[in-house]
Structure 1
Amino acid sequence: MLEISKKSNLLEQGTYKYSLQDIKEPNLYRDMYNYDEVPKVVFNQRRVPMNMPEDIWITDTSFRDGQQSMAPYTVKQIVDLYKLLSKLGGPYGLIRQSEFFIYTKKDREAVEKCMELGLRFPEITTWIRAKKEDFLLVKELGIKETGVLVSCSDYHIFKKMQMTRRQAVDYYLETIKDAFDAGVVPRCHLEDITRADFYGFVVPFVNEIMQLSKEAGIPIKIRACDTMGYGVPYTEAALPRSVSGIIYGLQQYSNVPSEMLEWHGHNDFYKAVANASTAWLYGACAVNCSLLGIGERTGNVPLEAMVFEYASLRGSMDGMDPTVITEIARYFRDEMGYDIPPQTPFVGENFNVTRAGIHADGLMKDEEIYNIFNTKKLLGRTPGVAVSKTSGLAGIAYWLNEHYGLTDEKKVTKDSPLVVKLKEWVDEMYADDRTTSLSNKELEDKIKELTKSEE
Structure 2
Amino acid sequence: MNQVALSLYNPVLEDVDVIVYDSTLRDGEQTPGVAFSQEQKITIAQMLDDAGVHEIEAGFPAVSENEIRTMKAISDLGLNAKILGLSRVIKGDIDAAVDAGVDIVLLFVGTSEIHRRYKMKKNREEILAMVVDSLDHCKARGVKAAVSAEDTTRTELDFLMEVYRTAEASGAARIGVTDTLGCATPEAISKIVSHARQEVKIPVALHLHNDYGLALANAFAGVKAGATAVTTTVNGIGERAGNVPLEQFVVGMKYLYGKDIGIESTKMKKLSDTVSQLSGLFKPKNQPLVGTNVFAHESGIHVAAMLNCPLTYESIPPEAVGNERHIIMGKKTGLNYIKKRLDDMRIETSEEQATEICKRVKELGERQGRVSDREFTRIVREILG
Q: Which amino acid aligns with 1:212?
A: S
1:383 corresponds to 2:325: yes
Cα 1:384–1:116 shift into 2, 3 Å: same
Alpha-carbon contact 1:52-1:280 (below 8 Å) kept:
no
Query: Quick check: 133-142 or 301-310, which moved more?
Result: 133-142
* Correspondence list, 1:115-264, <5 A: 115-121=75-81, 123-199=82-158, 201-213=159-171, 219-234=172-187, 242-253=188-199, 255-257=200-202, 260-264=203-207
Bigger Rg, structure 1 or 2: 1
Quote the residue 1:34 is aligned against: none
Determine if contact 2:86/2:97 at 8 Å carries over to the other structure.
Answer: no
Partners of 1:210 and 1:335 in 2: CA distance: 39
Checking the alignment, whether the CA contact within 8 Å between 1:397 and 1:412 is kept in structure 2 is no
Moved more, 71-80 or 101-110: 101-110
What is the CA-CA distance between 1:54 and the residue it aligns to? 4.3
Aligned residue among 18, 23, 30 for 1:56: 18
How far apart are residue 53 of structure 1 and its match?
Answer: 5.7
The Cα of 1:134 is off from its aligned counterpart by 2.1
Aligned partner letter, 1:256? K
Pick closer, same or farther for the CA change 1:359–1:77 going to 2, 3 Å.
Answer: same
Distance 2:13 2:168 in 1: 21
Show the counterpart of 1:79.
Answer: 42
* 2:121 match: secondary structure: coil
Say which is worse superposed, 244-253 or 330-339, in terms of deviation.
Answer: 330-339
TM-score, normalized by length of structure 1? 0.73
Q: Which amino acid aligns with 1:156?
A: H
**Is the 8 Å Cα contact of residues 60 and 303 (structure 1) preserved in structure 2?**
yes
Structure 2 distance, partners of 1:290, 1:430, is: 37
Matched residues in 2 for 1:80 and 1:414: separation? 51
**Within the alignment, does 1:392 sit opposite 2:327 as a pair?**
no
Whichever structure has more helix as a proportion of its residues is 2
How far residue 283 of structure 1 moved from its aligned partner, in angstroms, is: 1.1
Q: Note the C-alpha offset of 1:420.
A: 4.2
Correspondence for 1:363: 306
Q: SS at the partner of 1:63?
A: coil
Q: How much does 1:449 deviate? A: 6.5
Q: 1:355 is matched by which residue type in structure 2?
A: E
For 2:347 and 2:308, how far apart are their aligned partners in 1?
13
Given that 2:270 and 2:322 are in contact with CA atoms closer than 8 Å, whether structure 1 keeps it comes out as no
Q: Give the alignment's Cα RMSD to 1 decimal.
A: 3.0
Q: CA deviation at 1:273?
A: 1.1
Unaligned ranges ≥5, structure 1: 1-49, 214-218, 235-241
| 1:157 CA drift (Å) | 0.7
Shift of residue 171, structure 1, vs aligned partner: 3.0
CA contact (8 A) 1:52 1:283 kept: no
Cα pair 1:357 1:395 within 8 Å, conserved:
yes
Distance 1:251 1:414 in 2: 68
Q: Is the 8 Å Cα contact of residues 51 and 282 (structure 1) preserved in structure 2?
A: no
C-alpha distance 163-129 of structure 1, shift in aligned 2 (>3 A): closer
1:318 & 1:128 partners in 2: Cα distance?
27
Counterpart contact for 2:21–2:55, Cα < 8 Å? yes
How far does the alpha carbon of each residue in 1:268-306 deviate from its partner, in whole angstroms, 9 at most, with x for none? 122111111111111111111111111111110011111
Aligned residues with identical type, % of pairs: 23
- Change over 3 Å in CA distance of 1:330–1:421 after alignment to 2: farther
Q: Compared with structure 1, are the counterparts of its residues 358 and 299 closer, same or farther at alpha carbon in structure 2 (3 Å cutoff)?
A: same
* Change in CA separation of 1:55 and 1:427 when aligned onto 2, cut-off 3 Å: closer
Structure 2 residue ranges without an equivalent (≥5): 1-11
Deviation digits for residues 234-275 of structure 1 (CA, Å, limit 9, x no counterpart): 3xxxxxxx111111111212x232xx2101111112211111
What does residue 110 of structure 1 align with?
Answer: 70
Q: Contact 2:333–2:362 at 8 Å: present in 1 too?
A: no
Aligned length in residues: 372
